[in-house]
């Protein structure tokens, strides 16, 4: 089976812009979670989607949002980018929201200038 | 989710077994122990998980103490490609809550 894929792999934006990142889960997986990784804060949970519904949300401002489509693919959006949003954004998929083995994609490296 | 404690770094000679400890003294009865690793700037890779019995797969073995307050991940024949940050995570079955909680992990360096 193909693994989790994320696009784009690298992105450079300027402050104030918005960005959309995409994640395709492993075939058959219906749960998608998003994480942010920075050198200072480590890996932090953003949100989880299952069957097109947001199930859980981490402690991030409303500028961070996401959605999931009927084919389980997910997108996350960050509006009004700040310098501190520079990070590696990781997507993980699992078969269901009750199955804890999450499989991660390679991540999208976002740089905000 | 229970908290874990891991040494910040460890060295191991190539070809030897790497034994990575994790303390999870407040683990609950329904919490599993998960191990992931992350090679620099890549996504975390799932390694293994267990509840109370020892587990083995093609990558590693997981030894959980009888009282479940600590565990050890064993990489039987470490190679240079095993250099990575290893994360020990405890998580209740049933999902939900706040995603996986990653600590700082152990930076394992395999020496040639």
pLDDT by residue (tens digit) across B60-96? 999 999 999 999 999 999 999 999 999 999 887 655 5
C-beta atoms of B93 and A98 within 8 A? yes
Partner-chain residue, chosen from A88, A99, A102, that has the shortest CB–CB distance to B100:
A102
B→A contacts (Cβ < 8 Å), by residue, are 32, 34, 36, 41-46, 49, 91, 93-104
Whether B97 has a pLDDT exceeding 70, the answer reads no
% chain A with pLDDT above 70: 96
Give φ, ψ of A41 to 5 degrees: -105, -10
pLDDT band at residue A31 under the 50/70/90 scheme: very high
Partner-chain residue, chosen from A45, A100, A101, that has the shortest CB–CB distance to B98:
A45
Residue B95 is predicted with a pLDDT of 53
Whether A70 has a pLDDT exceeding 80, the answer reads yes
* Average pLDDT of chain A to the nearest whole number: 94
In terms of Cα–Cα distance, which of B66, B64, B75, B69 is closest to B108? B75
Q: Is the peptide bond before A83 cis (omega within 30 degrees of 0)?
A: no
pLDDT by residue (tens digit) across B30-70? 889 999 999 988 999 999 999 998 999 999 999 999 999 99
pLDDT by residue (tens digit) across B6-30? 999 999 999 999 999 999 999 988 8
pLDDT band at residue A4 under the 50/70/90 scheme: very high
Residue B91 is predicted with a pLDDT of 85
C-beta atoms of B95 and A45 within 8 A? no
Mutation pick from B43, B62, B93 vs chain A, by most beta carbons of A within 10 Å, is: B43
Q: Say if residues A48 and A5 touch (Cβ distance below 8 Å).
A: no
């Amino acid at each position: 089976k193909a693994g989790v894929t994320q696009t784009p792999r690298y992105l450079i934006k300027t402050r104030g812009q918005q960005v959309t990142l995409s994640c395709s889960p492993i075939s058959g997986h219906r749960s998608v979670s998003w994480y942010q990784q920075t050198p200072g804060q480590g890996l932090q949970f953003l949100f989880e989607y299952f069957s097109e519904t947001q199930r859980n949300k981490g402690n991030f401002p409303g500028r961070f949002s996401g959605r999931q489509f009927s084919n389980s693919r997910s997108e996350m959006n960050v509006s009004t980018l700040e310098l501190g949003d520079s990070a590696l954004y990781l997507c993980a998929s699992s078969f269901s929201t009750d199955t804890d083995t999450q499989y991660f994609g390679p991540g999208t490296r976002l740089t905000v200038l | 989710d229970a908290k874990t404690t891991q040494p910040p770094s460890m060295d191991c000679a190539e070809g030897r077994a790497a034994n990575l400890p994790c303390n999870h003294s407040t683990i609950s009865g329904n919490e599993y122990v998960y191990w992931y690793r992350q090679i620099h700037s890549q996504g975390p890779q799932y390694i293994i998980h267990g509840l109370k019995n020892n587990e083995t797969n093609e990558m590693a073995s997981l030894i959980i103490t009888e009282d479940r307050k600590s565990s050890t991940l064993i990489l039987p024949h470490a190679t240079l490609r095993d250099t990575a940050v290893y994360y020990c995570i405890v998580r209740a079955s049933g999902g939900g809550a706040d995603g996986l909680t990653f600590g700082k992990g152990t930076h394992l360096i395999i020496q040639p």
